[in-house]
Protein backbone atom coordinates (compact mmCIF):
# COMPACT_ATOMS: atom_id res chain seq x y z
CA UNK A 1 0.00 0.00 0.00
CA UNK A 2 2.86 2.37 0.77
CA UNK A 3 5.64 0.97 -1.42
CA UNK A 4 6.29 1.19 -5.15
CA UNK A 5 3.51 0.07 -7.46
CA UNK A 6 3.24 -0.70 -11.17
CA UNK A 7 2.17 2.38 -13.07
CA UNK A 8 1.07 1.91 -16.63
CA UNK A 9 1.71 5.55 -17.44
CA UNK A 10 5.36 5.07 -16.50
CA UNK A 11 5.94 1.70 -18.19
CA UNK A 12 8.25 1.42 -21.12
CA UNK A 13 9.01 -1.46 -23.41
CA UNK A 14 12.57 -2.40 -24.19
CA UNK A 15 13.65 -3.60 -27.60
CA UNK A 16 13.00 -7.17 -26.47
CA UNK A 17 9.46 -6.31 -25.37
CA UNK A 18 10.23 -6.52 -21.64
CA UNK A 19 9.27 -3.89 -19.04
CA UNK A 20 12.13 -1.92 -17.58
CA UNK A 21 12.47 -0.77 -13.95
CA UNK A 22 10.84 2.47 -15.07
CA UNK A 23 7.55 0.61 -14.82
CA UNK A 24 7.75 0.89 -11.07
CA UNK A 25 6.47 4.26 -9.86
CA UNK A 26 6.44 5.65 -6.36
CA UNK A 27 2.97 5.70 -4.79
CA UNK A 28 1.50 9.06 -3.77
CA UNK A 29 2.30 9.95 -0.17
CA UNK A 30 -0.20 8.53 2.32
CA UNK A 31 -0.97 10.50 5.52
CA UNK A 32 -2.33 7.50 7.41
CA UNK A 33 -0.51 6.81 10.66
CA UNK A 34 0.39 7.98 14.14
CA UNK A 35 2.68 11.00 14.60
CA UNK A 36 4.41 13.08 17.25
CA UNK A 37 6.20 16.41 17.03
CA UNK A 38 7.11 19.75 18.56
CA UNK A 39 6.03 23.33 17.96
CA UNK A 40 7.08 26.94 18.58
CA UNK A 41 5.17 30.16 18.00
CA UNK A 42 3.39 33.12 19.53
CA UNK A 43 0.08 33.77 21.23
CA UNK A 44 -1.81 37.02 21.62
CA UNK A 45 -5.11 38.45 22.87
CA UNK A 46 -6.56 41.17 20.70
CA UNK A 47 -8.09 43.39 23.39
CA UNK A 48 -9.17 47.03 23.56
CA UNK A 49 -11.02 49.36 25.92
CA UNK A 50 -14.32 47.77 24.86
CA UNK A 51 -13.35 44.50 26.58
CA UNK A 52 -13.46 46.11 30.03
CA UNK A 53 -16.03 47.72 32.30
CA UNK A 54 -16.44 48.21 36.05
CA UNK A 55 -18.93 49.25 38.70
CA UNK A 56 -17.08 52.53 39.26
CA UNK A 57 -17.56 53.75 35.69
CA UNK A 58 -13.86 53.94 34.84
CA UNK A 59 -12.35 54.25 31.37
CA UNK A 60 -9.88 51.60 30.18
CA UNK A 61 -6.98 51.11 27.81
CA UNK A 62 -6.14 47.55 26.83
CA UNK A 63 -3.12 46.96 24.60
CA UNK A 64 -2.43 43.64 22.91
CA UNK A 65 -0.06 41.38 24.85
CA UNK A 66 2.06 38.84 22.94
CA UNK A 67 3.68 35.73 24.45
CA UNK A 68 6.03 33.10 23.06
CA UNK A 69 4.71 29.52 23.13
CA UNK A 70 6.29 26.12 22.77
CA UNK A 71 5.24 22.54 23.25
CA UNK A 72 4.47 19.19 21.70
CA UNK A 73 1.68 17.44 19.84
CA UNK A 74 0.70 13.91 18.92
CA UNK A 75 -2.10 12.39 16.92
CA UNK A 76 -3.31 10.09 14.19
CA UNK A 77 -4.48 10.57 10.62
CA UNK A 78 -6.41 8.32 8.26
CA UNK A 79 -6.53 8.97 4.51
CA UNK A 80 -9.29 7.60 2.27
CA UNK A 81 -11.20 8.37 -0.95
CA UNK A 82 -8.00 9.52 -2.57
CA UNK A 83 -7.20 12.70 -0.69
CA UNK A 84 -9.64 13.03 2.22
CA UNK A 85 -7.88 12.95 5.61
CA UNK A 86 -9.53 12.69 9.02
CA UNK A 87 -7.70 12.62 12.32
CA UNK A 88 -7.43 13.51 15.99
CA UNK A 89 -4.72 15.38 17.87
CA UNK A 90 -3.72 16.38 21.39
CA UNK A 91 -1.43 19.41 21.85
CA UNK A 92 0.19 20.92 24.94
CA UNK A 93 1.95 24.30 25.06
CA UNK A 94 3.71 26.39 27.69
CA UNK A 95 3.60 30.21 27.50
CA UNK A 96 6.25 32.66 28.60
CA UNK A 97 4.88 35.04 31.25
CA UNK A 98 5.74 38.50 29.97
CA UNK A 99 4.00 40.89 32.41
CA UNK A 100 4.18 43.50 29.63
CA UNK A 101 1.53 46.02 28.55
CA UNK A 102 -0.71 46.36 31.63
CA UNK A 103 -4.35 47.41 31.34
CA UNK A 104 -4.98 50.91 32.72
CA UNK A 105 -8.21 51.95 34.47
CA UNK A 106 -8.84 55.65 35.04
CA UNK A 107 -11.53 56.66 37.55
CA UNK A 108 -14.53 58.80 36.46
CA UNK A 109 -12.87 61.99 37.78
CA UNK A 110 -9.92 61.30 35.46
CA UNK A 111 -7.51 61.91 38.34
CA UNK A 112 -6.62 58.43 39.64
CA UNK A 113 -5.30 55.57 37.51
CA UNK A 114 -4.85 51.90 38.32
CA UNK A 115 -2.53 49.59 36.43
CA UNK A 116 -3.75 46.01 36.15
CA UNK A 117 -1.05 43.46 35.39
CA UNK A 118 -1.76 41.50 32.20
CA UNK A 119 -3.59 38.21 32.51
CA UNK A 120 -1.02 36.02 30.78
CA UNK A 121 -1.75 32.46 29.70
CA UNK A 122 0.51 29.91 31.46
CA UNK A 123 -0.34 26.65 29.66
CA UNK A 124 -2.80 25.33 27.12
CA UNK A 125 -4.01 21.82 26.27
CA UNK A 126 -6.23 21.08 23.27
CA UNK A 127 -7.87 17.88 22.04
CA UNK A 128 -9.29 18.25 18.55
CA UNK A 129 -10.66 16.43 15.56
CA UNK A 130 -9.23 17.17 12.11
CA UNK A 131 -10.62 17.13 8.57
CA UNK A 132 -8.57 17.96 5.50
CA UNK A 133 -7.64 17.20 1.93
CA UNK A 134 -4.23 16.11 0.67
CA UNK A 135 -2.55 16.74 -2.66
CA UNK A 136 0.17 14.10 -2.42
CA UNK A 137 2.62 15.55 0.16
CA UNK A 138 0.63 18.74 0.90
CA UNK A 139 -2.24 18.65 3.42
CA UNK A 140 -4.71 21.48 4.06
CA UNK A 141 -6.87 20.91 7.14
CA UNK A 142 -9.25 22.39 9.67
CA UNK A 143 -9.62 21.37 13.30
CA UNK A 144 -11.93 21.90 16.26
CA UNK A 145 -12.53 20.58 19.76
CA UNK A 146 -11.92 21.26 23.44
CA UNK A 147 -9.31 23.42 25.16
CA UNK A 148 -8.10 23.72 28.75
CA UNK A 149 -6.14 26.85 29.72
CA UNK A 150 -4.60 28.34 32.86
CA UNK A 151 -3.79 32.03 33.25
CA UNK A 152 -1.82 34.06 35.76
CA UNK A 153 -3.59 35.92 38.56
CA UNK A 154 -3.28 39.63 37.78
CA UNK A 155 -1.97 42.30 40.14
CA UNK A 156 -3.12 45.90 40.62
CA UNK A 157 -1.25 49.06 41.55
CA UNK A 158 -2.49 52.60 42.07
CA UNK A 159 -0.67 55.61 40.69
CA UNK A 160 0.73 57.52 43.63
CA UNK A 161 1.15 54.42 45.78
CA UNK A 162 -0.86 52.83 48.53
CA UNK A 163 -1.93 49.24 49.22
CA UNK A 164 -3.74 47.60 46.33
CA UNK A 165 -4.80 44.03 45.61
CA UNK A 166 -7.61 41.86 44.27
CA UNK A 167 -9.75 39.95 46.74
CA UNK A 168 -11.24 37.71 44.06
CA UNK A 169 -10.42 36.60 40.51
CA UNK A 170 -12.47 33.94 38.72
CA UNK A 171 -11.81 31.72 35.69
CA UNK A 172 -8.02 31.52 36.00
CA UNK A 173 -8.22 27.88 34.90
CA UNK A 174 -11.01 26.97 32.53
CA UNK A 175 -12.25 24.61 29.85
CA UNK A 176 -13.53 25.99 26.57
CA UNK A 177 -13.56 25.37 22.78
CA UNK A 178 -11.12 25.94 19.97
CA UNK A 179 -11.04 25.99 16.16
CA UNK A 180 -8.13 26.32 13.75
CA UNK A 181 -6.63 25.51 10.38
CA UNK A 182 -3.23 24.63 9.00
CA UNK A 183 -1.07 23.63 6.07
CA UNK A 184 1.36 20.70 6.32
CA UNK A 185 4.07 19.51 3.93
CA UNK A 186 5.73 16.10 4.07
CA UNK A 187 9.18 17.28 3.03
CA UNK A 188 11.29 14.13 3.49
CA UNK A 189 10.27 10.54 4.12
CA UNK A 190 7.97 10.51 7.15
CA UNK A 191 9.02 13.99 8.29
CA UNK A 192 6.62 16.89 7.80
CA UNK A 193 6.46 20.59 8.68
CA UNK A 194 3.35 22.65 9.24
CA UNK A 195 2.07 26.14 9.98
CA UNK A 196 -1.12 26.44 12.05
CA UNK A 197 -3.47 29.09 13.45
CA UNK A 198 -5.72 28.36 16.45
CA UNK A 199 -8.46 30.46 18.04
CA UNK A 200 -9.40 29.76 21.66
CA UNK A 201 -12.59 31.30 23.09
CA UNK A 202 -12.31 32.27 26.76
CA UNK A 203 -15.12 32.90 29.28
CA UNK A 204 -15.74 36.32 30.76
CA UNK A 205 -13.75 37.12 33.89
CA UNK A 206 -14.41 39.35 36.90
CA UNK A 207 -11.80 40.95 39.17
CA UNK A 208 -12.86 42.23 42.59
CA UNK A 209 -10.63 44.93 44.08
CA UNK A 210 -9.91 44.47 47.77
CA UNK A 211 -11.45 46.97 50.26
CA UNK A 212 -8.94 49.54 51.41
CA UNK A 213 -7.48 50.02 47.94
CA UNK A 214 -7.45 53.79 47.24
CA UNK A 215 -10.36 54.94 45.03
CA UNK A 216 -10.96 51.47 43.53
CA UNK A 217 -11.69 49.55 46.77
CA UNK A 218 -14.67 47.22 46.27
CA UNK A 219 -14.77 47.86 42.52
CA UNK A 220 -15.65 44.88 40.30
CA UNK A 221 -13.87 44.90 36.95
CA UNK A 222 -15.36 42.79 34.14
CA UNK A 223 -13.21 41.39 31.32
CA UNK A 224 -15.54 40.38 28.50
CA UNK A 225 -15.24 38.75 25.06
CA UNK A 226 -11.91 37.19 25.96
CA UNK A 227 -10.02 35.14 23.40
CA UNK A 228 -6.56 33.86 22.57
CA UNK A 229 -4.99 33.45 19.13
CA UNK A 230 -1.97 31.22 18.53
CA UNK A 231 0.24 30.82 15.48
CA UNK A 232 2.73 27.95 15.56
CA UNK A 233 5.27 26.29 13.29
CA UNK A 234 5.75 22.58 13.93
CA UNK A 235 7.67 19.50 12.80
CA UNK A 236 6.09 16.02 12.95
CA UNK A 237 7.31 12.47 12.43
CA UNK A 238 4.81 9.86 11.19
CA UNK A 239 5.27 6.24 12.23
CA UNK A 240 3.48 4.74 9.22
CA UNK A 241 0.05 3.37 8.45
CA UNK A 242 -1.84 0.22 9.20
Q: With cut-offs at 50, 70 and 90, classify the pLDDT of residue 98.
A: low
Q: Which range is least confidently modeled, 22-31, 68-77, 87-96?
A: 22-31
- Domain span at residue 135 reads 31-238
Verify that 205 and 117 share a domain, yes or no: yes
Q: Is the model's pLDDT at 15 over the cut of 50?
A: no
Residue 102 or 179, more confident? 179
In the chain, the number of structural domains is 2
Query: Which residues make Cβ contacts (< 8 Å) with residue 223, sequence separation at least 6?
Result: 51, 52, 119, 204, 205, 206, 207
Q: Is the model's pLDDT at 47 over the cut of 60?
A: yes
What is the average per-residue pLDDT within 97-116?
Answer: 83
Residue 134 or 213, more confident? 134
Verify that 9 and 98 share a domain, yes or no: no
Query: Which residues make Cβ contacts (< 8 Å) with residue 59, sequence separation at least 6?
Result: 49, 105, 106, 108, 110
Strands (E), 26-137: 33-45, 52-54, 59-61, 65-80, 84-95, 103-106, 113-116, 121-135
Residue 21 or 185, more confident? 185
Verify that 61 and 165 share a domain, yes or no: yes
How much is the pTM? Answer: 0.83
Verify that 166 and 194 share a domain, yes or no: yes
Verify that 23 and 138 share a domain, yes or no: no
Verify that 3 and 72 share a domain, yes or no: no
pLDDT tens string 171-182: 778 899 999 999
Q: Is the model's pLDDT at 51 over the cut of 90?
A: no
Verify that 38 and 128 share a domain, yes or no: yes
Verify that 16 and 120 share a domain, yes or no: no
Amino acid sequence: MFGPRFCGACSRSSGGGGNSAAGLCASPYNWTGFYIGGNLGAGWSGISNTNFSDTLGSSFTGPTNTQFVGGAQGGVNYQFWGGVVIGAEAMFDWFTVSHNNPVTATDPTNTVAANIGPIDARWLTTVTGKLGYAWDRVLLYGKGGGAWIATTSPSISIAGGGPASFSGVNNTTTSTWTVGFGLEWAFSGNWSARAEYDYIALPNQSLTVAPGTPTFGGDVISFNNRNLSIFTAAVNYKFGGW
